[in-house]
Amino acid sequence: MEANRHTRPHSHHHSHGTARSRISRLRHQFAHLVTPHSHEAKDKVDTAMATSREGMRTLWLSLAVLGVTTVVQAVIVSLSGSVALLGDTIHNAGDALTAIPLGIAFVLGRRVANRRYTYGYGRAEDLAGVVIVGTIAVSAVLAAYTAVDRLLNPRDVTHLWAVAGAALAGFAGNEWVARYRIRTGRRIGSAALVADGLHARTDGFTSLAVLLGAGGASLGWQAADPIVGLLITIAILFVLRDAAREVYRRLMDSVDPGLVELAETALRSVPGVRGVGQVRMRWIGHSLRAEADIVVDPHLTVVAAHKMAVASEHALIHAVPRLTAATVHTDHTPLHDGDPHAALAHHNS
């Protein structure tokens, strides 16, 4: 529609359009000065490495917290003989170990693209996300098995106060790790790290089950622990659904439709762009890449069209968060632009 208004301009519209173009160009130049951006491959790799370092720092800190939590719980297990706490300890140890596939993925993501892996190694994070989803599923199965076993074979638990303290420590450690991983994962755009944070939250729920079970046992109700364990298993399944959906969408190149609208708006604001065609985006690890089609004046030289494509790339990268690269294809309106709908019809063809 924007292209149609510019196919047959008169002088009044032209003067206003020129003024708007100058204002838009000045605004873009000022934004570029304040937040300078380079299109050099080295700078894009540096950005990816910076986010990878942030992810690695998150993994190391969460691994340390969960490691301490696991050691404390293991000591209490040896004193109390609590099978529920033993299961929780195993879950926490497994959650700590999920840092291994994610760490490998972040390290691989730093490697530069080559002739075989032309988009780089960012997809390793998606593979790590699949491993994490599988780990959550195994945790749900173990939690359900432990709960059913405790229903069929009740056991007495000693040192209930220590078990309760270990359960609180497990919940606090897992919840801190969960929030830290999810916050960092969303900030750097890592679906795998978000899924790993959700996994830590499931282990926190398991720790609460141990706490409630210990409270029920102190009141003489042995079935409290396994019943709460079954309820927590259901909660874990809901978290599993959310994590699986997150990873599935990333594997299927799903993006937030709002980002596409943001990209289209940015392209339409570039002076000289008469229309916007298809805009495609995909995640490569925790970085976005885009492909876009724009419609320009048919009388532009190749050099001028190239400059407009570069300006469009600048506008996209400044407007869309986590976007590190964009390929812009220039199309032109028909030379016989007497028909106001000719440009759109030509572009759609």
Closest CA to 308 of 335, 273, 347: 273
User: Distance (Å, rounded) from C-alpha 113 to C-alpha 279?
Assistant: 23
Q: Are 25 and 315 in contact (CB under 8 A)?
A: no
Mean pLDDT (10-residue bins), the chain, 349 residues? 36 41 41 35 42 80 88 87 75 76 83 90 88 84 80 76 88 90 86 81 79 78 74 79 88 93 95 94 89 94 94 95 92 64 47
Decide which of 1.20.1510.10, 2.30.40.10, 3.40.190.290, 1.10.3210.10 is the CATH code for 41-251: 1.20.1510.10
Give the DSSP letter of residue 335: S
Which residues, other chains included, contact 136 with Cβ-Cβ below 8 Å and sequence gap of 6+? 195, 198, 199, 202, 236, 239, 240, 243
Q: Are 292 and 328 in contact (CB under 8 A)?
A: yes
Range list for CATH 1.20.1510.10 in the chain: 41-251
Range list for CATH 3.30.70.1350 in the chain: 2-36+255-348
Closest CA to 213 of 128, 332, 88: 88
Class of domain 2-36+255-348: alpha beta
User: Distance (Å, rounded) from C-alpha 169 to C-alpha 31?
Assistant: 48
- As to burial, measured by CB atoms within 10 angstroms (0-12 exposed, 13-18 middle, 19+ buried), residue 27 is exposed
Which residues, other chains included, contact 142 with Cβ-Cβ below 8 Å and sequence gap of 6+? 87, 90, 91
pLDDT at 335: 64
Which residues, other chains included, contact 272 with Cβ-Cβ below 8 Å and sequence gap of 6+? 21, 296, 297, 300, 308, 311
pLDDT at 29: 39
User: Distance (Å, rounded) from C-alpha 46 to C-alpha 50?
Assistant: 6
pLDDT at 9: 37
User: Does the global pTM surpass 0.75?
Assistant: no
Give the DSSP letter of residue 295: E
pLDDT at 262: 95
Largest CA-CA distance found in the chain, in angstroms, rounded = 90
